[in-house]
Amino acid sequence: MWFAFDKLGAATEAARIVDVRTGAVAVESLKQNVGAVERFWDLNRVRMNMYLPWNDDKLPWTALLLGLWIPNFYYWGLNQYITQRTLGSVSLSQGQKGIVFAAFLKLIIPLVIVIPGIIAFNLFFGDMQLEAARDNAPLIAKYLKANPDSKFVEVVQSPSEQEVTSWPKGRFMLAIYPSDSYLKQIKVGNPYVLPLSKETYDSTTVGEYTVFTTEDKSLPSTFPAFYKEVQAYDEKTEEAAKAADKSVTVEKLTAYKYDTALAQLLGNVLPQKVGLLGFVLAALLGAVVSSLAAMLNAASTIFTMDIYKKHISPQASGGALVFLGRVMVVVFAVIAAILAPQLGNPKISNSIFTIIQESQGLISPGVLAVFAFGLIVRRAPRMVGIIGLVTNIIAYSAFKILSLNESLMAVTIKDFKILDFLFKNFLNRMAICFILCLIVMTIITIIKPLREPMQFELKTTMDVKSSKGAAIAGVFVILLTISLYILFSPLVLAK
């Protein structure tokens, strides 16, 4: 963060998001004799408001107030990856202190992660646009083959450096180079020039009913004329698909490759050849390895003890279980390695974080609802746990499928797209599924409650005396969280 602000203070120009609703980007010269913090605030003031419109695709204010808390409570309070560390403490007091301290560290994330990431876009928007051009190249090739009458895409074989440099804005050049190895040696400095190897271009095929959309709000304002043409093509294609009773294939374009922010910060912001870059990489890799080891251990333990030991081989020896646990660590690592490259596929999403969180929606609302209900309602029968989990999986999947049906999402009540509001954003879906699980479990408990309330018994020799210091620190963290909600809200930003 320190070095990012230092770099911003020395910059002569930067990108500004003019309007978060449209994603419009403007590049402007920076005022001199102005501090880095003031520059940051001037460039990004409109982005500091966490309370986005209710129909925002990423984080509507409705999700911020309810849906966002579900994956957080699930992850920090119920995920075995976290709880096994907390339960490994020598006493209840130590465990409470550790998890409250972790909560405080979590609140520093906006300063050490989000703000440097925003500065990375301010400073290196051009590089991010060039990286997006490489991702867009095969997609634009598909678009041209699907719409050969395009006025905004032209194929040029092995263009010269002069042709690349002087290529005008507004139209795309599909620059076709002899091979992939040759392509890697080419550095294209024009976002309207899309590099592609001849082999890739020749092998590119496109379905009869393919549409080209985007999750990047900046795309329409960055390439306005081209985007209008794409929209017209998509409408025509969707009508044809509907008439033929066929489904459409979706390709997603991007204007900027935001996931390159960390690389830009490491390569262009940190001082080079002084050991600092190596130190940061060592710390980053250490954190990754530590997290990976804990996650693999948790996954292996769940499979070995909760599935294999309980349901497959109850008589398995300790040695056999340990061996199976080691084998499952390798299996899960291989599965992860196979799936990992897909997280960078722009056809799926331009946010790895969103992919992971949305996938966890199949589990997190149900698990949180079951635990919360079980802790509060002591007469709940055992069956409500399984029913609550299954209810969430079915409901979340159904809502996801429903959100993909554009005709249903267009249903309005006095111009209010009620289904779009409820289901389009995955955090809203989480909130709805969480409430639905609680309702289902409540009905079952009313119909068939336990005769006697469940009693929690102490089954440990561990010191279970609570920490007063952790309680005070916990209150402080809660107040600090509320303060952040207020600080990044219209109450402060409107002034």
User: Is 197 in contact with 217 (CB distance < 8 Å)?
Assistant: no
Instruction: Tell whether the model's pLDDT for residue 252 goes beyond 80.
Output: yes
- Percent of the chain topping pLDDT 70: 94
Q: Which long-range contacts (CB under 8 A, 24 or more apart) does 326-334 make?
A: 326/300, 328/299, 328/300, 328/303, 328/304, 329/296, 329/297, 329/299, 329/300, 332/296, 332/299, 332/300, 333/296
- Give the percent of the chain with pLDDT over 90: 48
Please, what is the end-to-end C-alpha distance for the chain in angstroms?
A: 26
Q: What is the mean pLDDT of residues 257-268?
A: 91
Q: Is the per-residue pLDDT at 446 higher than 90?
A: yes
Return the pLDDT at 76. 86
Residue-level pLDDT at 101: 94
Over residues 88-119, the pLDDT tens digits come to: 888 999 999 999 999 999 999 888 889 999 99
For 399-441, write each residue's pLDDT tens digit: 888 777 666 655 555 555 666 666 778 888 899 999 999 999 9
Beta carbons of 252 and 346 less than 8 angstroms apart: yes
Provide the pLDDT for residue 54: 76
- What's the pLDDT at 461? 80
Query: What local confidence, expressed as pLDDT, does residue 263 receive?
Result: 92
Question: Cβ neighbours of residue 471 under 8 Å, at least 6 residues apart?
Answer: 96
User: Could you tell me if 480 and 107 are in contact, meaning their C-beta atoms sit under 8 angstroms apart?
Assistant: yes
- 416: CB partners within 8 A, 6+ apart: none
pLDDT at residue 493 tops 90: no
Residue 202: half-sphere exposure toward Cβ, Cα within 13 Å: 8
Query: What is the arithmetic mean of pLDDT over 56-74?
Result: 84
Mean pLDDT of the chain: 87
- The per-residue pLDDT for 7 is 94
Q: Which of 71-75, 142-146, 302-306, 457-461 has the lowest mean pLDDT?
A: 457-461
Q: Tens of pLDDT along 307-363?
A: 998 889 888 888 999 999 999 999 999 998 888 877 766 555 556 777 777 888 899
pLDDT digit string, tens, across residues 174-224: 999 998 888 888 888 899 999 999 999 999 999 889 999 988 889 998 999
**pLDDT number for residue 187:** 84
